[in-house]
Chain A
Amino acid sequence: MGFGQLPFDMAHLLAGGVLLLSFVLLYQRRVTALIGALAAQGAVLAMAVAWQGWVLDVPALYVTALAALLAKAVAIPLGLRLLVRRFGLRRAVETAIGIGPGMIMGVGLVALAILVVLPATQGAGALVREGLAFAMSVMLLGMLMMITRRHAIGQVVGLLSLENGLVLAAAGARGLPLVVELATAALVVALAAVAGFFTLRLRDDFAGLDLGLLHHHRGESAPPGEGPP
């Protein structure tokens, strides 16, 4: 299977779309746009997984796709949006490093992922190799996003996008048991819940979601250029 055949092309395009949306996430400054991009990533991920299920003829993947669609594209974004609206968090997301350097680092991470995955998967099919490269890039970009965002919502979105990468990898690698996926999903949901709670507490206690504010209370100095509000 290679380029020019519809199954391969479509899988390639959808997995690439997930990665592209990771970059869109990295580029966004505003909270609502960030959540919208996350929802789009969830939807494309669901389509990618469903397509994989059809190509590899694994009906279990349809379930995963449905779960991804419901959770990632509908439920979590709606929940986040609700949270944002309830607390009036319409402000821009502060980034720890600029958008430009963040994007450059992102491209570097993708190159790194490719350089790691390609030699490690010698002998596997082109689809698997490329799928793994895409998935690993999405995961790395999610981690990068968690590092570069000061805003708690931004970090939650980074975590969820990282999990999207995990699901993409799981869908690409034939035979990964559903249990593992469910376990990761459950883990992430738990983490998201914790993060949401954290957000709430922060909001209540410090009237802001900038984690830099916490440094004061740990006896550290504020990040340069920022004082307490």
Chain B
Amino acid sequence: MSAVLATLLLMLLPLALAGGGAARWPALARLVHGGCFLVSLGFAALGVAVLVFGGGDPLLLPVGPPWAPLSLALDGLSAWFLLLLGLVGAATGLFAWTHEAEAPPRRLLCYPLFLFGMALCLGAADGFTLILGFEAMSLASWGLLVARAMETRGEGERLAARLYLGFALFGAACLIPAIGLMGGLAGDLSFAGLRAAPMQGGMAALVMALVLLGAGSKAGLVPLHGWLPIAHPVAPAGVSALMSGAMTKVALYVVARLVLDLGGPAQPPAWGAPLLVIGAASALFGALRATQEVDGKVLLACSTIEHVGLVAMGLGLSAVLRGADLGPLASVAAGAALLHALGHALFKTLLFLSAGEVEHGAGSRRLDALGGLIHAMPLVALCALFGAAAAAALPPLVGFAGEWLLLQALLSAWRVGALWVQVMVAAVTAVVALSTALGAMAMLRFWGLCFLGRARTPRTLGAQDAAPPARAALVALVVLATGAGLLPGSLLALGAPAVAQVSGHAGLVVAGPWSVGAATAASAYWPLGVLLLVAIVAAALVAGLRRLSLQPAARGPVWDGGFIAPPAHLPFGDPATQASAAGFAQPLRRMLGTRLLMAREAVHFAAPGDPAPARLEAGFRDPVLPAFLRPLLIARDRLAQAAEWLRDLSIRQFLGIAFGTLLLLLALLALAGPP
């Protein structure tokens, strides 16, 4: 299996070269996208194969330092995420085939490398390879943003790329020491070796903090989420989908691998608490911001923060329950996290690709410039509706299955005896419900303002439905997401090895082919039954009403509460009689936004005698990113000033500094050497 993975990985490198050569031969662009599509399908198939048949031994690569050769291996956990990556990559490949056929070579060069980095990170069997893949992923995705910035020459894009690079470097600066600390002085970085030498006490807490900072910043967990809504939407739709759907999951995989799988055994319940609380904060902040954003792709990126938070909560809860020796419940929480990760990858890719189609067709991402697109692009509208409903956690779609399991685990977590855990879990349960409802509001707002109502700009009316390959990608994603939502039990049975690795409990969630449940005594969820029930009742209603009245509906002008008909120069009605994006967000802005997002509203009246209309100004800002960035910037300036004197040193003094550092390190080794 590892050899297959290595082959697939190697196939991506010539594709990157071909992408670089697309400047001269534009036809190579299609080759890159087609190749990435096929390799991604290979990843997905490989993931399924490993989940079914097992992964086999690690493959040592003839690369890397002699004491720690790079090694590749797939086990249940990495196979689950590889499957996810493959599905997202295949869909974005198809989408790119349609829309990115004339992409600039820089982007075509980075795109396969981005996939390569993610797959390498997932397939790594030692800490060094993991970091290598993670950083390759970071840099390649940064390259994609830079390519976009150079293409559009926009100030916003350039800033986004810089911010992204800053956070990527910060992540690396946290993750590399974390791996180093885990390896200890013995220096065995292979996963088997790391698992054999568990961390303890303050060292474990330090590693936990570093991993949460490093991988959490990439996943978009609060408080390091500030870059995500700025950077993700900048990229073209396919890359945004890959970033939101797959890259955040790779970061979560790193958390699950390092904190739960390698560092998780024999830890107290408090081990999972930080992850649980940070996840809850992310879910709430992300969902609330998603209800306020006025740019469609930014909204989707904020919703990603919400769902990443929910997955992180599942992982954290699993660690809490595992620490309290509640193995079966820990496996429910782990199953919820894995299922929701997969579900989110599918529906968020679907939504980003639909947003890309909308941008392509209607020429804007701003919700205030869209509207009524269901008439112009019905297929995209219906596909996006599936995605939105899944993201809104509506039964029987996949979002609900994941959140149902998460809630079941939360509702049973009071069995951990400690009062602080119980109170924390109760508060967190409320946060999950709140952010789920907020997420539903955000998705309704996104979909409704894009596709329903009347066109807000004439440009919208020229939109056309998706072209065939992209259409296939959308429909395939709908089918996959619906299938995953209807058969969560089978899916979790397939992912049993992954669940076992995260939760440390061999037995699985009560998962039959048709249902999934928390424990034998507790409740069960039957998605197919729900679908059948709703479908039968709906069919009966249709049939019954058809007997009562056969007349088809008549069409007439909209009543609109008695508003007068619009003047002739407004053929699509007066835009002021339809809610704007900010107007639709007003209730929640007043209810929650003023406290959590520093939202404000102000009415500016014209001066007496001035016939100008009064203006309403409303807005919000996320208080977290500025709060972090400002001290960081100040510290950077200080550091730069302090480093100024280095410039005046002579060569001799430079050598002295290097020599001194070497001596210091040697002395450290002598003092704290291996026993």
Contacts and interface: CB of A to CB of B under 8 A. Distances in A.
A118 B417 CA distance: 14
Interface in B402-459: 419-420, 423
Nearest to A111: B423
Contacts of B420: 115
A202 interface: no
Interface residues of B, number: 3
Contacts of A114: 419
A118 B423 CA distance: 14
Contacts of B419: 114-115, 118
Contacts of B423: 111
Nearest to A118: B419
Contacts of A118: 419
The A interface is mostly helix, strand or loop, or mixed, namely helix
B277 to A, nearest CB: 16
A111 B420 CA distance: 9
A108 B463 CA distance: 53
A187 B420 CA distance: 37
Contacts of A115: 419-420
Secondary structure dominating the interface of B: helix
A115 to B, nearest CB: 7
B425 to A, nearest CB: 13
A114 B419 CA distance: 10
Nearest to A100: B595
Interface in A123-168: none
A118 B422 CA distance: 15
A115 B422 CA distance: 12
A111 B424 CA distance: 11
A114 B426 CA distance: 15
B423 to A, nearest CB: 6
Nearest to A115: B419
* A111, A114, A118: residue with the most chain B Cβ atoms closer than 10 Å: A111
Nearest to B591: A100
Nearest to B423: A111
A114 B420 CA distance: 11
Nearest to A119: B419
A209 to B, nearest CB: 28
A114 B423 CA distance: 11
B595 to A, nearest CB: 8
A50 B420 CA distance: 34
B418 to A, nearest CB: 11
A110 to B, nearest CB: 10
Interface in B573-632: none
A78 B328 CA distance: 58
A118 B420 CA distance: 12
A115 B420 CA distance: 9
Interface in A24-77: none
Nearest to A114: B419
A184 to B, nearest CB: 30
B65 to A, nearest CB: 52
A108 to B, nearest CB: 10
Interface string B274-292: 0000000000000000000
B422 to A, nearest CB: 10
A72 B598 CA distance: 43
A118 B419 CA distance: 10
Interface in A99-116: 111, 114-115
A214 B491 CA distance: 68
Interface string B540-561: 0000000000000000000000
A62 B423 CA distance: 37
B403 to A, nearest CB: 24
A115 B423 CA distance: 11
A201 B137 CA distance: 73
B184 to A, nearest CB: 38
B101 to A, nearest CB: 54
B409 to A, nearest CB: 22
A88 to B, nearest CB: 32
A97 to B, nearest CB: 11
Interface string A156-199: 00000000000000000000000000000000000000000000
A70 to B, nearest CB: 39
A112 to B, nearest CB: 11
A6 B420 CA distance: 30
A143 B353 CA distance: 55
A115 B424 CA distance: 13
A115 B419 CA distance: 8
A42 B13 CA distance: 79
B594 to A, nearest CB: 10
A133 B440 CA distance: 39
A140 to B, nearest CB: 16
A66 to B, nearest CB: 37
A115 B418 CA distance: 11
Interface string B210-236: 000000000000000000000000000
A193 to B, nearest CB: 39
Contacts of A111: 423
A183 B420 CA distance: 37
A118 B418 CA distance: 12
Nearest to A101: B595
Instruction: In the A-B complex, list the 5 residue pairs whose CB atoms are closest, starting with the nearest.
Output: A111-B423, A115-B419, A118-B419, A114-B419, A115-B420
Interface of B: 419-420, 423
5 contacts: A111-B423, A114-B419, A115-B419, A115-B420, A118-B419
